[in-house]
Structure 1
Amino acid sequence: MTSRLDEATVRESLQGLPGWALLEGRLEKTFTFASYPECVAFAVKVALDAERADHHPDSLEIRWGKVRVAYVTHSAGGVTRLDLEAAARVDALA
């Protein structure tokens, strides 16, 4: 099982993940796109990556022009290395 990281470690790690924030105990970032189809295409990429990694977003919200992605490892009770790694992969997909 992956261990929950303490808040200081998470905040330090976020320095390398621009735009991601620790909000209500989970990692979140909103991505902006020019159109709704671009948002949906990005969300599908995130979903496929999550399946490959066997680590899924807590939330994947599609709105016109925006996609919000959030990660937390419920089984660990907070943010883990898996969440930070997933956030980095999502950034690479954008």
Structure 2
Amino acid sequence: MAFKPLHDRVLVERVESEAKTAGGLIIPDSAKEKPAEGKVIAVGEGAKDDAGNRVAMDVKEGDRILFGKWSGTEITLDGKELLIMKESDIMGVIA
């Protein structure tokens, strides 16, 4: 199913965190937090300003991003768990 976010919204797939610590300890699933890092799958065309002009998005498809712990709305598309969030919920792009 094709999905295109509207306005300044972004479709994100979470990136799984490591199952081991730096010291080699294995972290059980019950102790893991949901990662706040993801990959941008799709972006909207951008919000409109007061004059009706489109404001370009700062992120693009394929960017790895960091976002807030409680950001976005969880959805399931084609069996994948994804997030839809506003661009303002994104804290930064990982270079």
Same fold per TM (> 0.5)? Answer: no
Q: Which has the higher strand share?
A: 2
**TM-score (normalised: structure 2):** 0.25
Higher alpha-carbon Rg:
2
**TM-score (normalised: structure 1):** 0.25
